[in-house]
Amino acid sequence: MTVRAYVLIQTEVGRAAEVAARARVLEGVASADDVTGPYDVIVTAQAGSVDELGRMVVSRLQLIEGITRTLTCPVVVLGD
């Protein structure tokens, strides 16, 4: 089973495009898009487990220079 999440990212001013480009090449990142509003980049991430997802966010994604804050929103299935 694959665990998916949206990672909402705030960046330093003027760094959104660079952060999105660096995020796109990380293993486990399905997409990284520049957006407007309170967040600057939204990443769609996937992993084999919640633990793997957390490790990817903390040990790879959050280390990208220019990121100031992340909020990880795991996708849940409420009904089939």
pLDDT, tens digit (0-9, with 9 covering 90-100), for 29-46: 999 999 999 999 999 999
- Say what the pTM is: 0.93
User: Which residues in the chain come in under a pLDDT of 70?
Assistant: 80
Confidence at residue 77, expressed as pLDDT on a 0 to 100 scale? 83
Angle (nearest 5°) at CA 75 between 22 and 79: 155
Confidence at residue 61, expressed as pLDDT on a 0 to 100 scale? 96
Could you give the CA distance from residue 12 to residue 76 in angstroms, rounded to a whole number?
30
Confidence at residue 20, expressed as pLDDT on a 0 to 100 scale? 98
Confidence at residue 79, expressed as pLDDT on a 0 to 100 scale? 81
Complete domains list, the chain, with CATH? 3-74 (3.30.70.920)
